[in-house]
Amino acid sequence: MTVVRTVLFWALAAALAAAHVVVAWDSLFVARLWEDEAFNLTVPLNLLSGLGYSSDGALSGSEITPFDPRISTGPTVLLPVAALLATGLDPVVAARLVPLAFWVLLLAGLGVLGRKLGGRWAALLAVAVPLGFDTTGGFSPIQGPADLLGEIPAAALLVWALVVLPRRAWLAGLLVGLAVQAKFIAILALPAFAVAIWALSPGRRWARIGTTAKRSWLPLVLAGVPSLAVELAALLSLGPAGYVTHLRNLWYFVATGGQKGARSTVAEKLATLADAWFVPVWAVLLVALAGLALIVCGFLVERGRGRRAPGLVRATALAAAVGLAAFVGWWATAGHTPLWVRHPAVGVFAFVPVLGIVAVWGARRMLRRAHGAPAAAPAPTARSVLAVALVAVVAAGAAAGALGHVRHALEPRSETLTAQRAAVEPIREWVAQTGTPWLAAQPWGAAVSAIVLSGAHVGLFDAPAMDGVPRLTGAACASEALVEGTGYRVCPAP
C-alpha cells in the first residue's frame, strides 16, 4: 500500500505541476496586456527614464504623478520590475516575470506549510487550491498569475509570514509589511497575525496577554518599516506641501475605493465570491462544508482524547480563519465597492489553501494517524469512513478547480498579447518617428494598453492636461486619422 500511495502521490503531483505550467505560460506569453497592468507598468518605465517613482497619472490629472495613490500595486512589486526592465528584456514579459515569481513563492510557501502541518497530501492540496479561484471575470480581473498586479505577491508574502512566524516572529512582521507595500489592502491581515502570535504565546489568561505583548512589539514595528520607508521617500520627493496633498489623495482613494457610483449589497458580494471558482456554486458550498467539518472534527477528536491540538495547528487555523473573515467581511460590507473579487483576492489566495491544510490535518486526526508517518491501517469505523468521504469531497473539488483553470487557459482568446502588439505596431513606429510624448486614451480601457505599448505616456482624454494632445481610440475619427493600427487609430486633438 505504501508503494501504491507513493506512486499515486507523485503522479498527481506531476499532473498538478503540468497544470501550473500551462496556466503560467498562458498568463506570461498569451494573455493580452490589460489596462491596469499597463498603468502599473508606467511606474517602472518612468523610474528608468529618470522621472522618479511616478505614474503617468492617467487617473490623477494625466500628468506625471509621483507616488500616485491610484497605483495600489506597490514598490515591493514595481521596484523589482524596474530592475528587470533595466536588463533590456521585453517590457511586458519582464514585468510579468515578477508576479509570476511571487506565484511560485506562494505555492512553495503553501507546500512547506502543508508538509509541516498535514504531510505531503496536505501540501499537494494546498498547492492545488489557488488554481481553483477564478479571478478572470468582470471589469477588473486578475487574468492569471503573471498579471502585473499586487494581489498574488501580497498573498505569497502573507503565507511565508505564517511559515516563519513560530520561530522568527520579527521576520513574519517584516513580510507582512512588505505584503502591504505589494498591495495596500493586505493591511487587513494584521488581525490574523495578532491572533496567531497570541495563540503561540505561552501562559494562560492574563499571563498570556503579557507574553503576547512581549512577542508582538518587534513584529509590529517591523511590519511598519516598509510603509515608513515609502512614505519617507514620498516626503523627500514631494516636499511638505506636496506630501500633505499626497496624504489627502491617498485617504480619499482608500475611503472611496477609487470608484464612483458603485453600489452593492452583502448578498451580492457573497454570491459573487461563491461564483468565482472554476467549479459550480453548489460544488463550492459542498467543498466548504466538507472542509469545515474536517477542521471541527479534527479539533473535537483531539479534545476527546484529552489533549489540545498542537499549538502551531491552532495558531495557523485561527490566523487563516480570522484573515479570511477580515478580507471577505470588509469587502462584503463595503457597499461602495464594485462586485470585483480582486478586492478580497489577497485573503482568498493566502488563507483558503491554509484552511485546506488544516482540513487535511483534521482528517488525519479522525483517522488517528500520527505526525510523520501513518499508523497501521485502522479498522473501518463510522468516523474513518466519514473522514475519507469528506476529504474525498475536498480533494475532488480542488482537482476539478485545477482542471477548470487549465481548460480556461487553453481556450482561444479574443485578443492575445501577440495580436495586440501587431495591432499597435504602426502606432509605435509613428510615435518613435514623430517623438510624440503623450497620447490620450479615449476612453479608459484597451486604449490605455495600446498607448503604453506604443511607447508614449498615457493620459485620459477628458483631463485638462490632455487639451491639444492626440487621442488614441477604437472609434472613428472626426477628421483624418494621424495613424492607424488594427482596431486602433490616433485622431487629432479636437
Task: Map grid coordinates 489553501 to a residue.
Answer: 353
Q: What are φ and ψ of residue 283, in 5° steps?
A: -70, -40
- Given a contact cutoff of 8 angstroms between Cβ atoms, the answer to whether 134 and 405 are in contact is yes
Helix/strand number for the chain, H first, E second = 16, 7
The contacts of residue 427 (CB under 8 Å, 6+ apart) are 450, 454, 472, 483, 484, 485, 488, 490
- Given a contact cutoff of 8 angstroms between Cβ atoms, the answer to whether 197 and 318 are in contact is no
Terminal CA-CA length for the chain: 76
- Given a contact cutoff of 8 angstroms between Cβ atoms, the answer to whether 273 and 328 are in contact is yes
How far apart are alpha carbons 470 and 475 in whole angstroms?
14
Q: What are φ and ψ of residue 140, in 5° steps?
A: -135, 75
Q: pLDDT (tens digit, 0 to 9) for every residue of the chain, 494 residues total?
A: 688 889 999 999 999 999 999 999 999 999 999 999 999 999 999 999 999 999 999 999 999 999 999 999 999 999 999 999 999 999 999 999 999 999 999 999 999 999 999 999 999 999 999 999 999 988 899 999 999 999 999 999 999 999 999 999 999 999 999 999 999 999 999 999 999 998 888 766 656 677 777 788 999 999 999 999 999 999 999 999 999 999 998 888 887 776 776 788 999 999 999 999 999 999 999 999 999 999 999 999 888 765 666 789 999 999 999 999 999 999 999 988 899 999 999 999 999 999 999 999 999 999 874 333 444 444 567 888 899 999 999 999 999 999 999 999 999 998 999 999 999 999 999 999 999 999 999 999 999 999 999 999 999 999 999 999 999 999 999 999 999 999 999 999 98
Task: Map grid coordinates 519617507 to a residue.
Answer: 232
Beta bridge partners of 458: 439
Planar angle of CA 215, 194, 355, nearest 5 degrees: 125
pTM of structure? 0.95
Q: What Rg, from alpha-carbon coordinates, does the chain have?
A: 24
